């Protein structure tokens, strides 16, 4: 039997008893292994995380997981050699929620080391390939998640994580849907953090419905994570309907359509905006002047927090280890020199500098003040606009062989459109356009996931 089904079709057929699950799962694993040889998207394929598949909202839907989200009994390395061999004795809260709803955890996806990158080329393991063009990057840092969702012609959803656009970027490059929720809507318990005040666990799927469904399951308050918002999860699939909201207006930030953005991308996003206008949704150009300051503020904050988080990886409690009889300083240096990649070392150095006594006020605390100004600017716009719409990425995915020619600063600048809303903790979604590897980015106010899902669903039907 062929299983070229959408997630919605799969769940309906499972509920009605029309699918032999053993046959489905066997076919899925066979196809997954074959596709993974082509794309190198998954670092680990697991067969023992199926749970009770005859009840719950997911009915055994296979779900892959970014490598920095802990799954009990499955090696979780956050894309880094320094954690190779670490097998968590517990599930992250989002994984527990998936398992309670009969989701089948199928494996861990390749990513940039600890999320440090835009193209998933900073992995300590394999570099995932873009299914649309295997010579090009899948995007990062959740590149493996986007690649396997896009490449596998079977019902499948992946859990990703975003710090500055790590769900939106690969989703755009691979032409899938990437939903990044409000900061604190999904528990970070069990996440191997990059930057605590920025990290969000989200969803990558083939359709808007797929991402809305899984967000409904993983969202909600968690006593294990005091940063989660005390809000009950809702059924976000209710927003996946063709009904057009009445008397709403979208904001189009002019800074996000500058000449620095590839013209083909700008033109395609404008086509989508005009489509929304044709079905009754008004738009108006607006300004996000703080955008120019958001990127440097983000990298100062992210690097400072990441250097703190990485201090615990010293080869004593978990992961890479060596001869314990050495002097501690030598041991510590040897383990970290061997285990961390080039980008991780760069961020440790820069982040440590930014939070040193004498520099903390000039860099880190000033960056936090800029962050507040960015949030205030978004809040001002959302008093007037239902949501904001723009391109997801300013460029098309580069070829893997060309990534080494891109300087770190140029790489950081690639995040110019996704960093500001993530810095502000806003929910955002990237939905594919009719042009491959061009994503349309929709951002709304805190806890307004329903708005971005609604606009994305309307655009999805057009494309």
Longest dimension (CA), the chain: 71
Q: Tell me how far apart the alpha carbons of residues 204 and 160 are, in angstroms, rounded to a whole number.
A: 7
Q: Give the DSSP letter string of 388-432.
A: EEEES-SSPPPBGGGGGGS-HHHHHHTTTTTHHHHHTT--EEEEE
> Mean pLDDT across the stretch 103-121?
96
Q: How many domains, in total, are found in the chain?
A: 1
pLDDT, tens digit (0-9, with 9 covering 90-100), for 135-156: 999 999 999 999 999 999 999 9
Residue 448 CB partners (closer than 8 Å, separation 6+): 182, 382, 387, 427
Residue 338's pLDDT is what?
92
The average confidence (pLDDT) of the chain is 94
SS3 319: coil
Residue 328's pLDDT is what?
81
Q: Give the DSSP letter string of 77-120.
A: -TT-GGGTT---SS--HHHHHHHHTT-EEEEEE--SGGG--SSS
Q: Tell me how far apart the alpha carbons of residues 133 and 139 are, in angstroms, rounded to a whole number.
A: 12
Which has the closest alpha carbon to 66: 35, 98, 37, 89?
Answer: 98
Work out whether the CA dihedral 122, 125, 130, 134 comes out positive or negative: positive
Residue 119 counted as domain residue? yes
Residue 110's pLDDT is what?
98
pLDDT at 245 over 80: yes
Residue 165's pLDDT is what?
96
Contact 101, 57 (CB under 8 A): yes
Between residues 413 and 7, the one the model is more confident about: 7
Residue 346's pLDDT is what?
93
For the purposes of burial, counting CB atoms within 10 Å of the CB of 95, is it exposed (0-12), middle (13-18) or buried (19 or more)?
A: buried
Catalytic residues: 66, 141, 166
Residue 462's pLDDT is what?
76
Residue 290 CB partners (closer than 8 Å, separation 6+): 370, 373, 374, 377, 420
CA angle centred on 294, ends 293 and 295, rounded to 5°: 95
Q: Which of 318-327, 375-384, 412-421, 442-451 has the lowest mean pLDDT?
A: 318-327
Among the residues of 247-326, which ranges form H helices?
Answer: 263-278, 291-309
CATH of the domain at 70: 3.90.1300.10
Residue 294 counted as domain residue? no
Query: Over the Cα atoms of the chain, what is R_g?
Result: 21
pLDDT at 463 over 70: no
Residue 360's pLDDT is what?
86
Residue 122's pLDDT is what?
95
Q: Give the DSSP letter string of 24-69.
A: HHHHHHHHHHHHHHHH--EEEE-SS----TTSSSSTT-EEEEETTB
pLDDT at 32 over 80: yes
Residue 317 counted as domain residue? no
- Output the six-digit token pair for 302: 């992210």
Q: Tokens 């044709």 appear where? A: 278
Residue 248 counted as domain residue? no
Residue 314 counted as domain residue? no
Which has the closest alpha carbon to 160: 45, 289, 65?
Answer: 65
Residue 324's pLDDT is what?
73
pLDDT at 416 over 60: yes
- Other beta carbons within 10 Å of 334: 15
Residue 162 counted as domain residue? yes
CA angle centred on 437, ends 433 and 439, rounded to 5°: 45
Contact 367, 297 (CB under 8 A): yes
Residue 321 counted as domain residue? no
- Other beta carbons within 10 Å of 330: 11
Q: Tell me how far apart the alpha carbons of residues 405 and 393 are, in angstroms, rounded to a whole number.
A: 19
SS3 276: helix
Measure CA 364 to chain center. Answer: 25
pLDDT, tens digit (0-9, with 9 covering 90-100), for 262-300: 999 999 999 999 999 999 999 999 999 998 899 999 999
pLDDT, tens digit (0-9, with 9 covering 90-100), for 341-375: 999 999 999 999 998 877 888 899 999 999 999 99
Q: How does DSSP classify residue 245?
A: P
Taking the model in full, what pTM does it have? 0.96
- Other beta carbons within 10 Å of 202: 31
The parent domain of residue 26 ranges over: 7-243+393-462
SS3 207: coil
Per-residue burial over 13-33, b = 16 or more CB atoms within 10 Å of its CB, e = otherwise: bbeeeebebeebbeebeebbe
**What's the pLDDT band for 231 if we cut at 50, 70, 90?**
confident
**What's the pLDDT band for 402 if we cut at 50, 70, 90?**
very high
> Mean pLDDT across the stretch 388-413?
94
Residue 353's pLDDT is what?
92
- Output the six-digit token pair for 399: 């070829």
- Other beta carbons within 10 Å of 103: 28
Q: How many CA atoms lie within 13 A of 262 on its CB side?
A: 16
Residue 400 counted as domain residue? yes
Contact 77, 335 (CB under 8 A): no
pLDDT, tens digit (0-9, with 9 covering 90-100), for 124-135: 999 999 999 999
> Mean pLDDT across the stretch 224-250?
93
């Amino acid at each position: 039997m062929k299983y070229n089904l959408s997630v919605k079709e799969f769940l309906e057929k499972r509920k009605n008893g029309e699918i032999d699950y053993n046959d489905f799962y066997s076919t899925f694993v066979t196809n997954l292994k074959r596709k993974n040889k082509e794309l190198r998207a998954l670092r680990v394929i697991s067969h023992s995380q199926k749970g009770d598949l005859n009840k719950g909202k997911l009915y055994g839907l296979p779900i892959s997981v970014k490598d920095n989200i802990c799954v009990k009994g499955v090696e979780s390395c956050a894309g880094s050699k320094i954690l190779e061999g670490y097998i968590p004795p517990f599930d992250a809260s989002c994984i527990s929620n998936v398992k309670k709803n009969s989701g089948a955890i199928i494996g861990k996806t390749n990513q940039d080391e600890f999320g440090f990158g835009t193209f998933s080329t900073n992995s300590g393991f394999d570099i995932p390939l873009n299914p649309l063009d295997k010579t090009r990057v899948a995007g990062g840092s959740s590149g493996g998640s986007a690649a396997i969702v896009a490449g596998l012609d079977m019902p499948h959803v992946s859990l990703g994580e975003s710090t500055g656009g790590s769900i939106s970027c690969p989703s755009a490059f691979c032409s899938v849907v990437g939903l990044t929720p409000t900061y604190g809507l999904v528990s970070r318990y069990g996440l191997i953090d990059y930057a605590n005040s920025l990290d969000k666990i989200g969803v990558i799927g083939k359709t808007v419905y797929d991402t809305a469904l899984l967000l409904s399951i993983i969202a909600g308050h968690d006593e294990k994570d005091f940063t989660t918002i005390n809000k009950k999860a809702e059924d976000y699939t209710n927003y996946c309907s063709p009904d057009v909201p009445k008397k709403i207006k979208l904001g189009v930030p002019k800074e996000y359509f500058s000449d620095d953005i590839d013209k083909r991308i700008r033109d395609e996003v404008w086509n989508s905006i005009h489509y929304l206008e044709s079905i009754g949704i008004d738009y108006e150009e607006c300004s996000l002047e703080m955008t120019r300051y958001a990127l440097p503020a983000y990298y100062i904050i992210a690097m400072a927090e990441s250097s703190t988080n990485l201090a615990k990886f010293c080869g004593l409690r978990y992961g890479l280890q060596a001869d314990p009889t050495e002097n501690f300083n030598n041991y510590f240096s040897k383990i970290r020199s061997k285990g961390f990649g080039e980008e991780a070392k760069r961020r440790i150095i820069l982040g440590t500098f930014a939070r040193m006594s004498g520099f903390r006020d000039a860099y880190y605390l000033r960056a936090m003040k800029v962050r507040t100004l960015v949030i205030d600017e978004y809040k001002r716009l959302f008093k007037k606009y239902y949501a904001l719409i723009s391109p997801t990425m300013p460029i098309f995915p580069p070829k893997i062989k060309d990534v080494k020619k891109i300087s770190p600063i140029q790489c950081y600048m690639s995040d110019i459109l996704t960093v500001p809303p993530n810095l502000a903790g806003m929910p955002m979604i990237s939905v594919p356009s009719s042009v491959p590897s061009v994503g349309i980015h929709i951002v709304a106010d805190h806890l307004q996931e329903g708005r971005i899902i609604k606009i994305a669903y309307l655009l999805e039907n057009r494309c």
